[in-house]
Amino acid sequence: MKKFFAQLYLWTLLALLYAPIIIIGIFSFTESKVLGNWTGFSTKLYTSLFSGGTHHSLLSAIQNTLSIALIAAIASTLLGTVAAIGIFNMRGRKKQVINFLNDIPMLNPDIITGISLFLLFVSLGISQGYTTVVLAHIAFCTPYVVLNVMPRLQQMNPNIYEAALDLGATPFQALRKIIIPEIRPGMISGFILAFTLSIDDFAVTLFTKGNEGLETLSTYIYADARKGGLTPELRPLSTIIFAVVLLLLIIINVRAKRAAKRKQAM
Amino acid sequence: MNFVSKLFNKRANWAIPYAIFLAMFVALPLVLIVVYAFQDSNGAFSLENFTKFVTQPEAVNTFIYSIGIALITTILCILLGYPAAWILSNRKLNSSEVMVVLFILPMWINILVRTLATVALFDFLKFPLGEGALIFGMVYNFLPFMIYPIYNTLKKMDHSLIEAAEDLGATPIEVFRKVTIPLSMPGVMSGIMMVFMPTISTFAIAELLTMNNVKLFGTTIQENINNGMWNYGAALSLIMLIIIGITSLFSDGDEQTDSDSLI
């Protein structure tokens, strides 16, 4: 009985949480300009989302979002991994200072990060656009990579690295063949986190994108909503995003479960 | 060349590029906020931005109103989220891992897409966009961020403590009040950080959910920056930073341990 009410509570909450996206999903299959107006089944919004034409700006916003996220995630994974190895080998006051600085972007609200970077670019006289957005994204993504790689370094047996050097490996070889394989899982989860954080970002992008017409998905939606009417193509787009994220999470979880089972079997 | 390879061999030096990057893109920008906040529009030192804030009833009211909205949202999230996290972590009441995934899934979807969906739902239900919609929408958006850290601490909790309390004759309610709740406080604290901070600093969500009828402090900051009032905007940002600094004193960086276990 207790279990029944517990499950009922969970399902009610889930129904409320998912109601918006379900409504959007349903109405992505009708042509009506106004949401909530069912004008018969149609996949026209899906085809027009990808055919460009009048919604070309939405397509280019999606492309910008993905390319910025990819560049920022790769750059912050490289920068953050090298930094984590360095910080791991640091001692004393210097280590405290760099760890403190590394925490700031994670604790700062987006709007503060955005405004502070905006002021930086303005005072340096750098014109804002694609490059400044990428730099800003690297700035707030890298701390998470450091945070994901660090525990791997701490778990690693330091003797293996020393042994490799004793056996004649150069530091670079030891890095490539000993350290990188050990910390790879941390690098991968850091990369995924950086990628999703970049895609999700709105405030930092808004303040660093300048006014040359660069839009990401977030800023596009914002600008669209401010104009009043929302582009109907956003309905199929939200549905697709939701489906992709759901699929990815399920895959990640199933794989994690399998890996755990394999470990148990060993 | 010799110098370079020496630098490279000492692995502590590998942090140098990132140290420079942090100084440039994290430390310097924050210093600039402080500098701009204490300057007038001609670049001379001045306190006029702060006196302007204190003497303008509109700005102060927005500020207090935003804190109020953020508090209500956070409290509602605790009230709705704690039971959910507790049920999810309790093996007798929920054995499904999929359920947990379903609850954290919304965290991975772009916040504007989620807000957009919420606006669509309210539109569909003919629910008026305004203050009520704002609070509803914020709770919608941030509930997963409250559930997840609490769930995590409850899941990691040492269950022998609960059994010990039961063996010693505590009733289920006493166990919950005196063992479960105190032990889950770190999770609640990081949940509060993850909900309160974004709600106090948000602006886009509020604009979308209220059709720009309700103004939050984040909106005021953004408008000032947008209209070229950088010094006043920087001063308002500094005020927000102080509020957030005070809030984060209450939870010593717990959210770090939670954010890295998201995947």
pLDDT tens, A3-59? 888 889 999 999 988 888 888 888 888 887 777 777 788 888 888 877 766 667 888
Between these two residues, A92 and B76, which has the higher pLDDT value?
B76
Mean pLDDT lowest for which of A4-8, A201-205, B6-10, B52-56? Answer: B6-10
Between these two residues, A161 and A257, which has the higher pLDDT value?
A161
- A247 and chain B: CB distance < 8 Å anywhere? no
Query: Quick one: average pLDDT of B253-258?
Result: 45
User: What's the whole-number average pLDDT of chain A?
Assistant: 87
Q: Which residues of B touch A9 (CB under 8 A)?
A: 83-84, 87
pLDDT tens, B227-243? 888 999 999 999 999 88
pLDDT tens, A145-171? 999 999 989 888 888 888 988 998 888
Residue B47 has pLDDT above 70, yes or no: yes
Closest partner CB to A13 (pick from B13, B84, B218): B84
Rg of chain A's alpha carbons, rounded to an integer?
A: 23
Residue B6 has pLDDT above 80, yes or no: no
> CA of B31 to nearest chain A CA: how many angstroms apart?
8
Model pLDDT, residue A223: 86
Instruction: Please state, in angstroms and rounded to a whole number, the distance separating the CA atoms of residues A113 and A141.
Output: 12
Q: Which residues of A touch B33 (CB under 8 A)?
A: 112, 115-116, 119
Model pLDDT, residue B255: 44
**What is the band of A266 on the pLDDT scale with cuts at 50, 70, 90?**
low
**What is the band of B2 on the pLDDT scale with cuts at 50, 70, 90?**
low
Closest partner CB to B123 (pick from A35, A113, A136): A35
**What is the band of B1 on the pLDDT scale with cuts at 50, 70, 90?**
low
Closest partner CB to A103 (pick from B218, B237, B253): B253
Distances from the Cα of A135 to the Cαs of A201, A209, A259, B36, in angstroms? 13, 11, 36, 22
Contact B64, B53 (CB under 8 A): no
Q: What percent of chain A has pLDDT above 90?
A: 39
Q: Where are the alpha helices (DSSP H) in chain B?
A: 2-9, 16-22, 28-37, 48-55, 57-89, 97-104, 111-124, 131-156, 159-167, 172-175, 181-201, 204-210, 217-226, 230-249, 255-259
**What is the band of B252 on the pLDDT scale with cuts at 50, 70, 90?**
low
Count of CB atoms within 10 A of residue A250's CB? 13
Closest partner CB to B36 (pick from A35, A119, A138): A119
The structure tokens listed for A135 are 């730099």
> CA of A120 to nearest chain B CA: how many angstroms apart?
5
Instruction: Please state, in angstroms and rounded to a whole number, the distance separating the CA atoms of residues B187 and B177.
Output: 16
Closest partner CB to A2 (pick from B93, B225, B237): B93
User: What's the whole-number average pLDDT of chain B?
Assistant: 85
Model pLDDT, residue B256: 44
B104 burial type by CB count under 10 A (0-12 exposed, 13-18 middle, 19+ buried):
middle
**What is the band of B121 on the pLDDT scale with cuts at 50, 70, 90?**
confident
Whether residue A20 and residue B22 make contact (CB cut-off 8 A), yes or no, is no
Residue B247 has pLDDT above 90, yes or no: no
Q: What is the ipTM of this complex?
A: 0.85
Q: Where are the alpha helices (DSSP H) in A1-129?
A: 2-27, 44-51, 56-88, 92-107, 110-124
Phi then psi for B39, rounded to 5 degrees? -120, 150
**What is the band of B43 on the pLDDT scale with cuts at 50, 70, 90?**
confident
Q: Which residues of A touch B112 (CB under 8 A)?
A: 202, 217-218, 221-222
Nearest CA in chain B to A135: B25
pLDDT tens, B128-168? 888 888 998 899 889 999 998 999 898 888 888 888 888 89
CA angle B193, B198, B203 (to 5 degrees): 160
Query: Quick one: average pLDDT of A127-145?
Result: 95
Chain A from 225 to 244: CB within 8 A of any B CB: 225-226, 230, 234-235, 237-238, 241-242
Instruction: Please state, in angstroms and rounded to a whole number, the distance separating the CA atoms of residues A166 and A168.
Output: 5
Between these two residues, B255 and B122, which has the higher pLDDT value?
B122
Instruction: Please state, in angstroms and rounded to a whole number, the distance separating the CA atoms of residues B136 and B155.
Output: 28
Q: Which residues of B touch A16 (CB under 8 A)?
A: 140
Between these two residues, B193 and B262, which has the higher pLDDT value?
B193
How large is the angle between the packed helices B217-226 and B181-201, nearest 10 degrees?
Answer: 30
Q: Which residues of B touch A135 (CB under 8 A)?
A: 25
Within a 13 Å sphere around the CA of B18, how many CA atoms are in the beta-carbon half? 33
CA angle B39, A106, B145 (to 5 degrees): 120
**What is the band of A221 on the pLDDT scale with cuts at 50, 70, 90?**
confident
pLDDT tens, A68-87? 999 999 999 999 999 999 99
The residues near B250 (Cβ < 8 Å, ≥ 6 apart) are B189, B192
Classify residue B45 by its DSSP letter: B
